[in-house]
Chains A and B, each alone.
Chain A
């Protein structure tokens, strides 16, 4: 493609030497003009994607009167942090964030640690039935959360766990493990087995090889899968809604939902502020880790 183009270009340049200077310029201009619709489409796409976010963040700085009197696309008149103060103090957003973190971090930690260990046991260790065990665990991916809600609710109720955050941590761990185990096993499979065999020749036991070779080699995979699990746990509503009744234990998603019931149509400011906090926090995380997040989510869905 490029070679033919340059051949044609040099050919025409040789025939009409006087236009040598103007031709490439015109061609470039024409090519740019032809790209114009593409750039318009891309611009429109970015507006569609980013404008709602921008509108929400700008809205979080507006006072109630600005909401009523100015049109929806007006910029806020000043950077008013009043809404954030209201959301954090009256709307329990700070408490909700604490609960979300208390649930999400232990769940993701457990999922990753247990998942990488199980992946090692199923892929590097050699035993009869490991293939069937992997399939057995894999079957769990197909089951929707609704299938296990009622029995789990009964179990947690009988165990007296309903006033704690434990039901959430346990359920998220159980729901995240099948996919994580499967992905970890797949990552272990892609590693050269010779590394582990060499370690065994050097006298390292299998458990020692796991901690000294397996875990360090899997750091990348653990981070990627950890991010998938972080988002699916942090953004969950169903499990949190089912197992927490006490507002003191509400996670951020429940908090947003009740905030919208409480202020709903009357007071947009605090609600916008609470949502904006979410957007900005995740935007910062995303800005640093977007490559890992995108690769991880794509891998997680295709293999699942």
Chain B
């Protein structure tokens, strides 16, 4: 048996194309990019070795630090919102709607498959002011308020970006957590109910502890996705007003491809990678400590 499924020729034929693409278009570029972060310049101008200069520049570069703050703030707020709303929806599906939740589940999930660019443009017109005022300001006017120009302020843009992110992804997190909740055995819930746990106490002492692993995976997944936020903030307001809502990804893109600073751009990309790693490990470790307690 091992002789048949140990055939080297077959392994090579099946695995080599994937490995070749992976190594040449992913592993090599990552190593290359790591190396570039110690250089200054671009392909046309030539490169110059500068050691750790790019990293010290980064630490004193206000625009860079600002974009780090934007990314982290967006990631933290979006993750809290996504996972909380998703969890509430999942509880609704499992314990209130039960078998009848299929339609709601599907409908709330749908925005997830829409392109972020389309969703961002939709929300921009949704909150627009002026001649083509959107429904949000119509409602504010109807309630007696002045029209608000959301895209003119940092918080307005950030709030709109968060709202659109939650709108499009809460159904996805709901389905993710829903599958986790379904795995809790009925007997456990039933016996907790017989012991007198109901409603909120049931959620707090039985359901949350039992769904902790999937909750944790969702948080890590959400942080990793939202730390890389790019399309939504770019398409919504082009990182504006000014550059006040430009995340690290957009700053990297502009540095590398608009200002042709390949070396510094690679440094920023490395910082982004490290940021994702640090966040993942932090969530991981803090959860392990809680489990050990």
How far in angstroms is the closest Cβ of chain B from A71? 6
Tally of chain B residues near chain A (CB < 8 A): 93
B179 touches A298 (CB 8 A): yes
Question: Would you list which residues of chain B between 15 and 45 have a CB under 8 Å from chain A?
Answer: 15, 17-19, 21-22, 24-30, 32-33, 36, 43
Q: From B44, which residue of chain A is reached at the shortest CB distance? A: A157
Residues of A within 8 A of B1 (CB): 197, 200
> Could you say which of B27, B118, B190 contacts A279, with CB atoms under 8 Å apart?
B118
Majority secondary structure of chain B interface residues (helix, strand, loop or mixed) = helix
B130 touches A207 (CB 8 A): no
Stretch at the interface among A15-23, A76-84, A172-180: A172-180
A121 touches B221 (CB 8 A): no
How far in angstroms is the closest Cβ of chain A from B94? 13
Q: Would you call B131 an interface residue if the criterion is a C-beta within 8 Å of the partner chain's C-beta atoms?
A: yes
Question: Would you list which residues of chain A between 209 and 254 have a CB under 8 Å from chain B?
Answer: 210, 231, 234-235, 237-238, 241-242, 252-253
Residues of B within 8 A of A126 (CB): 2, 5-6
Residues of B within 8 A of A149 (CB): 253, 256-257, 265, 269
Tally of chain A residues near chain B (CB < 8 A): 95
Q: Would you call B113 an interface residue if the criterion is a C-beta within 8 Å of the partner chain's C-beta atoms?
A: yes
Stretch at the interface among A5-13, A24-32, A268-276: A268-276
Majority secondary structure of chain A interface residues (helix, strand, loop or mixed) = helix
Residues of B within 8 A of A142 (CB): 273, 276-277
Residues of A within 8 A of B97 (CB): 38, 42
> Could you say which of B29, B118, B221 contacts A147, with CB atoms under 8 Å apart?
B29
B residues apposed to A, CB below 8 Å? 1-2, 4-8, 10-11, 13-15, 17-19, 21-22, 24-30, 32-33, 36, 43, 89, 92, 96-97, 104-118, 121-126, 128, 130-135, 137-138, 167, 171-172, 175-176, 179, 190, 193, 214, 217, 221, 228, 230-231, 234-235, 249, 252-253, 256-257, 262, 265-266, 268-270, 272-273, 276-277
Query: What are 17 A-to-B residue pairs whose CB atoms are below 8 Å?
Result: A67-B131, A72-B137, A125-B6, A140-B22, A142-B276, A146-B268, A148-B30, A148-B33, A150-B265, A150-B269, A170-B25, A174-B21, A237-B117, A237-B230, A237-B235, A260-B235, A294-B106
